[in-house]
Amino acid sequence: MSDDQQRTKQAKKVAVIGSTGSIGKQTLDVISASQGEFEAAALVAKSNAELLLEQAKKYRPEIVGIVEESAADFLRENLPENTELVVGKTALSAGSSFGDTVLNAVVGFAGLEVTVGTLKAGKRLALANKESLIAGAPIVQSARAFPGAEIVPVDSEHCAIHQCLKAMSAVSEAPSRNTADVSVRDSFKPLAPTSVSRLLITASGGPFYGRKKSDLAKVTLDEALTHPTWNMGPKITIDSSTLMNKGLEVIEAHELFGVPYDGIEVVVHRQSIIHSMVEFCDGAVIAQLSSPDMRLPIGYALSYPDRFSHPYGKLDFTQLNRLDFGVPDPDTFGSLALAYEAGRMGQSAPACLNAANEIAVQAFLDSKISWLQIEEVVSETLNRHNLVKLTDIDDVLYVDKEAREMAEKIAEQLAP
């Protein structure tokens, strides 16, 4: 493409919801590297007004949103001219109404409104907020049916599966005659052949892989926050240490691709070079490999079905000596089994699981409970939960609130 063509080409507008977090900042790196292919149309953050202002001055979005109302005056006084400011909870939905693609990098359950709103608006959702799909699966699946609605996952594992399925669909569109075939979501049929046998989700294993439960009674916060591969926020890093993050990814994979839980397995892969794999009915396995760099799946989600031109995560195979694999220890990392249990229960169980986990992780971060008690809080909350059918967002909000209150009480009872 010539320089003149590049200048006249219409930039694709991206709304970055959660712009001051790890994924949000890396999304802006990708936008900067795109040489005008993408522009930040909206930037929304929870509370980091100083960084949000810095981003707004650099990227000049049409709208800036901040959830924390106490930061509003600071932004009003300092934002670039002609930049619209939205304050409070409406900032999430207002921000997602801008742009061709909405990247949902909100942490936790709060991202549900962004996910549903984006899909109902018939836009592409670059999904980095797995909790919204997990907690509100029936509502999200309904929203996927809106004309133009599309989910391209940003989690490295689900992005890898997306790429593997796309690679397979490019060479074989014929329906399989294997009776063990699994079905896929109608909205994903262009990519997912029915000959999928298993999804293999890789896990780094977190900081405590190889250790027994008896060794982890006195885990410190710093130890749990030391991830061997990725640099992430505190909540997801703790989830990685318990393998709850991987359990949530199992539920997300089921909802995204329609593969039954018996066809989704977690494999420990310490090097984090293979980001996930798809096994087909003839035994063939397709894997996606790259160095750990979240900007690769971000660029993929923004550019799909094309490829982003900047080579994030490029491998030097002459330096790649070995790829190791293992099995998660179910006794030490019981959170993974809890996620499978909640997923198979269906209805409101995943929403309960997610809410209880968020409360338990925060209690650990606040030094109120031990690392081992995170699993205990989630397990007991799930045991006490009465399943309900989720038909709208109000149902999800009710289950979430009830589960959080229950988890808080259980955590308080466990506190020393």
- pLDDT tens per residue across span 110-134: 899 999 999 999 999 999 999 899 9
The superfamily CATH assigns to domain 10-153 is NAD(P)-binding Rossmann-like Domain (3.40.50.720)
Residue at 37: amino acid letter: E
In this structure, the number of other CB atoms found within 10 A of the CB of residue 318 comes to: 6
Per DSSP (E only), the strands in 134-257 are 150-153, 196-203
- CA separation for the pair 20, 105 (Å, rounded): 9
Residue at 242: amino acid letter: T
The rounded mean pLDDT for the chain is 90
Spell 11-32 as b/e; 16+ CB within 10 A means b. ebbbbbbbbbbbbbbbbbbbbe
pLDDT score, position 228: 72
Q: pLDDT (tens digit, 9 = 90+) per residue, 259-303?
A: 999 999 999 999 999 999 999 999 999 999 999 999 999 999 999
pLDDT score, position 9: 67
Cis peptide before 305 (omega within 30 of 0): yes
Q: Which residue has the tokens 């591969």?
A: 229
In 3D space, the residue among 284, 263, 109, 283 whose CA is nearest the CA of residue 201 turns out to be: 263
In 3D space, the residue among 320, 236, 238, 233 whose CA is nearest the CA of residue 271 turns out to be: 320
CATH 1.10.1740.10: which residues of the chain? 346-414
The more confidently predicted of residues 132 and 6 is: 132
Q: pLDDT (tens digit, 9 = 90+) per residue, 127-184?
A: 999 989 999 999 999 999 999 999 999 999 999 999 999 887 655 543 433 333 333 3
Looking at residue 176, what DSSP letter applies?
Answer: P
CATH 3.40.50.720: which residues of the chain? 10-153
Q: pLDDT (tens digit, 9 = 90+) per residue, 359-398?
A: 999 999 999 999 999 999 999 999 999 999 999 999 999 9
- CA separation for the pair 349, 297 (Å, rounded): 29
CATH code for the structural domain at 346-414: 1.10.1740.10
pLDDT score, position 108: 84
- CA separation for the pair 95, 249 (Å, rounded): 26
